[in-house]
């Protein structure tokens, strides 16, 4: 999408659907443990907002519904990102604790444990 040209209602709706699809794809990647880049989603949303601001559609009910759905999807994505972040922090803290215990444990104790 480009902001140089005006978008009609159909083009706006297609843009909204494209953003929704991008969010769904991002959520699937996140659920699979993959990293996601939100730059393209942000850019597409910015383009949509600029187009709507420049030339508001005559019948905006469907556009409003679509944008509300995007907000709901983004809220769900935010929740999932926060959950993933909390889990990563927990895993990192556990790993750090384990490494610290191993680093400061008595080496003689390790040898006797390995013999048994």
The total domain count for the chain is: 1
Structural domain of residue 100, as residue ranges? 9-111
Question: Can you tell me which residue has the tokens 């809220």?
Answer: 75
Distance of CA 109 to the CA centre of its chain: 46
Angstrom distance (rounded) from CA 15 to CA 1: 8
pLDDT at residue 113 greater than cutoff 70: no
pLDDT of residue 3: 47
Question: In this structure, is the dihedral angle defined by the CA atoms of residues 5, 10, 15 and 18, taken in order, positive or negative?
Answer: negative
pLDDT at residue 82 greater than cutoff 70: yes
pLDDT above 90 coverage of the chain, percent: 63
Angstrom distance (rounded) from CA 19 to CA 70: 7
Is residue 23, in this structure, part of any structural domain at all? yes
Angstrom distance (rounded) from CA 85 to CA 105: 30
DSSP for residue 57 = -
Token couple for 100: 């610290």
Is residue 81, in this structure, part of any structural domain at all? yes
Of 13-27, 52-66, 100-114, the one with minimum mean pLDDT is: 100-114
Distance of CA 108 to the CA centre of its chain: 47
């Amino acid at each position: 999408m480009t902001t140089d040209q005006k978008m009609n209602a159909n083009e706006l709706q297609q843009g909204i659907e494209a953003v929704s699809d991008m969010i769904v794809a991002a959520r699937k990647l996140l659920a699979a443990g993959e990293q996601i880049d939100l730059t393209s989603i942000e850019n597409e949303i910015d383009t949509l907002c600029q187009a709507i601001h420049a030339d508001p559609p005559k019948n905006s009910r469907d556009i409003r519904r679509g944008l509300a759905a995007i907000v709901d999807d983004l809220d769900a994505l935010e929740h999932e990102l926060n959950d993933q972040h909390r889990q990563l922090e927990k895993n990192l803290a556990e790993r750090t604790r384990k490494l610290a215990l191993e680093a400061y444990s008595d080496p003689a104790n390790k040898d006797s444990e390995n013999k048994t």
